[in-house]
């Protein structure tokens, strides 16, 4: 059965509404529990989308929320795909330095060798 254009629009609207609700809920949790936020480590990460065969490098303090946003059009840079998967993460101690190092290389081979070296 082929979905009608109207049902596709409704599905898309509900998906966006769900994303907005989750983002709001996450923000509210952070506002009402600031002490827990102080101890959250930052991470640098590499994600990969098989559907477009592309990598993305970024940093976050909440990997679970960030991958959700990447997969639900919450990022201009990654909205082309919805199948992003973590391939590499590292804590903030070296994250800022590592993120710049990875981006400076501008090399897919470098990214893949980094991922393969971790396992």
- 99: number of Cβ within 10 Å: 20
Token pair in block for residue 17: 């509404």
Taking residues 11-40, report their average pLDDT: 58
Residues in contact with 4: Cβ distance below 8 Å, sequence separation at least 6, in sequence order: none
Residues 57 and 78: their CA atoms lie apart, in Å, by 10
Per DSSP, helices labelled H in 33-91 are: 34-38, 63-71
pLDDT in tens, 72-107: 987 888 999 999 999 988 887 777 787 888 889 988
pLDDT of residue 51: 96
């Amino acid at each position: 059965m082929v979905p009608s254009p109207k049902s596709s629009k409704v599905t898309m609207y509900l998906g966006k509404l769900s994303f907005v609700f989750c983002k709001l809920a996450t923000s509210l949790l952070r506002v009402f529990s600031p002490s827990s936020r102080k101890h959250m480590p930052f991470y640098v990460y590499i994600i990969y989308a098989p559907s477009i065969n592309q990598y993305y490098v970024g940093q976050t303090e909440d990997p679970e929320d960030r991958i959700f946003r990447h997969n639900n059009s919450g990022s201009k840079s990654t909205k082309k795909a919805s199948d992003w998967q973590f391939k590499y993460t590292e804590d903030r101690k070296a994250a800022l330095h590592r993120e710049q190092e990875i981006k400076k290389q501008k090399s897919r081979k470098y990214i893949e060798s980094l991922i393969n070296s971790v396992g």
